[in-house]
Structure 1
């Protein structure tokens, strides 16, 4: 059996290996809460699913967001998600439920720090999203909470993504009746907006 015959025999297997590697390398994992899970709507209508459709085969978007998750709950789920999906990038959209429940900002900061460290240890790139709380939580608490995110982004030299809800709040017709969650009509805008924010970092 000469070299050419051996090469032709193994070529399909090499192609499958390359496809598998590419799929793993091009996965974007969304680790979030109800803002990304698609609260009160089908998962297929939520912005991560629309973003996946938008990017088609360029980047696979895995939405691992769960409504109600705190940063601690996200951290608990993270190792299994990293092992299962082997993402190249991880968007961390967590902390909002910590703030809504009045957790100490220092506690949330430490948990987010562990999330970032866990992502980096898996050779993935963390993309941290800024989170802001409603104004009625008080200026002092809000300032302490909001300061967590730029601090961690600077500490780990990672991107800090703007909070997409800041754009959604400007359109009351895009909000659900609870005044917290974006509705179905907002999802296409969020998907397009996130695509613009993420594209510079997905290389």
Structure 2
């Protein structure tokens, strides 16, 4: 798992995050798989791109889940740069023999229509180009529930984490064969 604070269980005990909850489910339903959460709070696609080769060598994964890009968008980084970074991470993962699940993100409308649409399209474009599994929006099941977010209105609460796990699961489980 290569992600940002949304996957690193920001301000929560790690075991309460959706990645750890997914690991628990994998251990029960798909024994024998090991989950490595290489998520870092504040990570951008550039940071993920800089780390991916090292993480691939270290973990030797059969499946790579990439959940990065939110911080690029919140910082208004150039869309082409973010797309190139996502593309490089997916390419590196596939070259290492791993199946890939790319998890997308959306931005609030105050970033402007062209940027928010382009940002969202980056994920779809990269997933389609590489023919990898794709989940369009990690926060879909909680997007309209203010109580599902911490005070910063960005990071999900502990109570929301099982919903994220359940949302990711149908896209992930076919890769665990």
TM-score, reference length from structure 2: 0.93
Q: Distance in 2 between matches of 1:55 and 1:158?
A: 20
Q: Distance in 2 between matches of 1:105 and 1:187?
A: 28
SS at match of 1:36: coil
Q: Distance in 1 between matches of 2:136 and 2:176?
A: 16
Match of 2:128 in 1: 154
- What are the ranges of 5 or more consecutive residues in structure 2 without an aligned counterpart? none
Q: Which has the higher helix share?
A: 1
SS at match of 1:68: coil
**Greater Rg, structure 1 or structure 2?**
1
1:181 pairs, out of 142, 149, 155, with 155
Match of 2:2 in 1: 31
Higher-RCO chain (CA-CA 8 Å, sequence separation at least 6): 2
Match of 1:89 in 2: 63
TM-score, reference length from structure 1: 0.82
Match of 1:105 in 2: 79
Contact 2:99-2:175 within 8 A present in 1 as well: no
Task: Give the length in aligned residue pairs.
Answer: 174
Q: Output the aligned Cα RMSD.
A: 1.2
**Structure 1 position 164, deviation (Å):** 2.2
Q: Which portions of structure 1, spanning 4 or more consecutive aligned residues, are displaced by more than 4 angstroms? A: none
| Aligned pairs (5 A) from 1:1-203 | 30-56=1-27, 57-203=31-177
**Structure 1 position 58, deviation (Å):** 4.3
SS at match of 2:7: helix
Contact 1:33-1:66 within 8 A present in 2 as well: yes
Q: Distance in 1 between matches of 2:19 and 2:84?
A: 26
